[in-house]
Amino acid sequence: MTKSKITQQDSELIADPHLLDQVAEEKLAYMHKFAKSSTVATILAPILCVPLYIDETESLYFNAWFILMAVAVAVRIFLVQTMDLRGDKQRNFKILNWAIGIVTLMWGMGWLILVPAMDPVNYLIYQIISLTVLFVGMVGYCVHWRTFFSFVLPLKIPEVFFTIIYYKIIVWPIALGSLVAFYLALKMGYLFSQSWEKSISLRFRNETLFNDLVVEKDASVAANVAKSDFIATASHDLRQPMQAINIFIEMIHPDHLKEKEAAIFKKMRASIGVLNHMFNTLLDISKLDANFDYVENYFELETLVRDVQISFGQLAEDKGLQLHFEYQNCILLGDAGLMAQVLRNLLSNSIQYTSAGRVMVKFWQEDHTLVFAVEDTGCGIPSEDLPFVYKEFFRSEHSRSHYDGLGLGLTIVSRVVDRIGGAISVASCVNQGTTFTIHTNFRVTEEKAMGETVSAKLPMPLGGDRASHASALVPLDVKHLGLIENDRALLDAYMQYFTAAGYCVHLIPYTEAEFNAVLLDLPKLDFILSDYRLGHKDGAYFIKRLREEFNDNIPACILTADTSPNNLSKFKELDIEVLYKPIDVASIGQFVADHIG
């Protein structure tokens, strides 16, 4: 950067009237504070001159100088004390200039009054006094060059006249040094003043920018909170009817429809499945943004595989795909929920982008930690797209026109794998298939029997064999299920499903008075299933009340369309599980059966 550019920027920096006003205020505050703090030294310095010069100078001249100095000091004290820093700044500068100038003028006049009749030794002493006053003034007043000049000129100009008049008795090397110091003081004072102004201007500008950034940040945070509240509310309002649609869809068996209607129904169910997947993907992203916890627990690989089979077996079968799992059962130490989340997203992608063939999930261990791979025979990913597959909303042009989705599944996988301290790699060939390999840090603590599992069908819709399947989900003895839901259609659907599954279902009202009345007649519950938003009180409140009534930590689940991340910590603190709508009723039934078991 050239010198002219620097000068131009500097001039622009201090050209802002508001900044100039702030700089002037800062200068006045600094110099006024220094002037007040140096008042004692201003009084003592002339007094200390009395023993030095009273016997060496004619009484008339010395007394006149001392009286004038006393008056000057008194005027200085008066002017400094009466300055109002909140008033006109230019007037304050003038008052301060006069206050310090009249005192240094008296020190300057000392050259003509005190020094002439003295010997060279006393001349040197006064020279030292003069230079001391000069350098002390530089400390306090060089931030404003006009004030510093008002301090220096009355001090040094009489010395110049003294040097010219009494050139025979002065010590020239010292006199020349003093004159050079005078010149350098003026120059340094001016340059330091300019530098100080730029420095203070930069500081104020940075403070202004920082305050602007804080305001913008606060506005951004407020907007983000408003956005989150809006998304949570909108998500709830959309998920609630989607949950009803899911359950009613499941209650319709395509075998009971005419061929044309059955074909339309299957397409409608597939479209609803895509919507469910999009909702769940957005929910996963919101959880990741909420800095989710990583919780280590012991879990069995076979249990995780079985749950995933239930979720994806029917989906694979509907597409005519073979879904296989190859694994050796073992006990793992890690976060089963996060591992399931990774596996579900990879399987969802593989099944979606595979039209024919198979999807294979293989588990093995390396260095006593779990590794698994998801292989498919799908459309594959072009090599030029591989570096971008984990970016949010990225979808390859190779498959965009053939498959629906948001392009978030692999983003979720990548972020979860990073959170658990694992690693992910991908190998793909267009029109031949893709393999994603995940190296986890989940420690294998105990190996069990070797086994291979093929695809398992999802539970059938209500009607037909649904009741017999659901009954198998619970023990033979009757289990009491408490149900709290404010949507009448959903309540009827849950009632039908769980009654058919062999549960004794107790409908629990969500108004305080009715709840208290029903509470007296309730038997000991084995599980509580509740919506979250219920009116004046939420589902967590009623679950807590039921647990207190029976003095037992009854297993409970909030089934909600509210995806606000703030609720996650609340549910965790109360030891309440959570499932998010939309979700098929068979998965809810399996969840309840597993937790009762």
Q: What is the pLDDT of residues 398-426, one digit of tens each?
A: 554 455 555 567 777 888 888 778 899 88
Q: Answer whether residue 355 shows pLDDT above 80.
A: yes
Do 171 and 319 lie in a common domain? Answer: no
Q: Which of 537, 533, 547 is nearest to 576 (CA)?
A: 547
Residue of 225 and 286 predicted with greater confidence: 225
126 within some domain: yes
Domain boundary pick from 212, 234, 263: 212
Parallel, antiparallel or unpaired: strands 358-366 and 369-376:
antiparallel
260 within some domain: no
Do 57 and 189 lie in a common domain? Answer: yes
The CATH number of the domain holding residue 368 is 3.30.565.10
> Which residue(s) pair with 506 in the sheet?
482
The highest-confidence range among 22-31, 39-48, 159-168, by mean pLDDT, is 39-48
Do 165 and 307 lie in a common domain? Answer: no
Do 190 and 307 lie in a common domain? Answer: no
Do 190 and 313 lie in a common domain? Answer: no
pLDDT at 252: 78
Tell me the C-alpha distance between 127 and 104, whole Å: 14
359 within some domain: yes
> Which residue(s) pair with 579 in the sheet?
559
Q: Answer whether residue 337 shows pLDDT above 80.
A: no
Mean pLDDT of all residues in 24-36: 84
> Which residue(s) pair with 361 in the sheet?
325, 374
Do 66 and 207 lie in a common domain? Answer: yes
Tell me the C-alpha distance between 36 and 52, whole Å: 27
* Phi/psi of residue 378, nearest 5 degrees: -85, -155
133 within some domain: yes
Q: Answer whether residue 41 shows pLDDT above 60.
A: yes
Q: Answer whether residue 227 shows pLDDT above 70.
A: no
Do 113 and 19 lie in a common domain? Answer: yes
Do 31 and 177 lie in a common domain? Answer: yes
Output the average pLDDT for the chain: 78
Could you give the number of structural domains in the chain?
2
Mean pLDDT of all residues in 552-568: 79
pLDDT at 185: 77
Q: Which of 246-250, 373-377, 543-547 has the lowest mean pLDDT?
A: 246-250
Q: Answer whether residue 514 shows pLDDT above 90.
A: no
Domain boundary pick from 404, 431, 459: 459
Please report the DSSP string for 256-313 in residue order.
GS-HHHHHHHHHHHHHHHHHHHHHHHHHHHHHHHTT-----EEEEHHHHHHHHHHHHH
493 within some domain: no
pLDDT at 67: 92
Q: Answer whether residue 233 shows pLDDT above 80.
A: no
pLDDT at 98: 92
pLDDT at 359: 92
* Tokens 């504070």, located at residue: 33
Angle made by CA atoms 387, 391, 392, in degrees to the nearest 5 = 160
Residue of 446 and 152 predicted with greater confidence: 152
Q: State the pLDDT confidence band at 7, using cuts at 50, 70 and 90.
A: very low
Do 309 and 194 lie in a common domain? Answer: no
Mean pLDDT of all residues in 33-56: 85
Cα separations in angstroms, 82 against 36, 43, 87, 106, 375: 11, 18, 11, 22, 86
48 within some domain: yes
Q: Answer whether residue 529 shows pLDDT above 90.
A: yes
Mean pLDDT of all residues in 285-310: 74
Do 329 and 448 lie in a common domain? Answer: yes
Do 204 and 311 lie in a common domain? Answer: no
47 within some domain: yes
Domain span at 174: 3-212
What the block records as the tokens of 537 is 């009180």
For the stretch 82-137, pLDDT in tens is: 888 888 888 888 988 898 889 989 998 888 888 876 667 777 788 888 888 888 88
Do 323 and 430 lie in a common domain? Answer: yes
Q: Do the beta carbons of residue 39 and residue 73 sit within 8 Å?
A: no
Q: Answer whether residue 460 shows pLDDT above 50.
A: no
Q: Which of 135, 236, 132, 186 is nearest to 567 (CA)?
A: 236
pLDDT at 57: 79
Q: State the pLDDT confidence band at 280, using cuts at 50, 70 and 90.
A: low
Domain boundary pick from 180, 197, 212: 212
247 within some domain: no
Mean pLDDT of all residues in 481-510: 86
What the block records as the tokens of 433 is 């298939």
Q: How many helices (H) and strands (E) does the chain have?
A: 18, 11
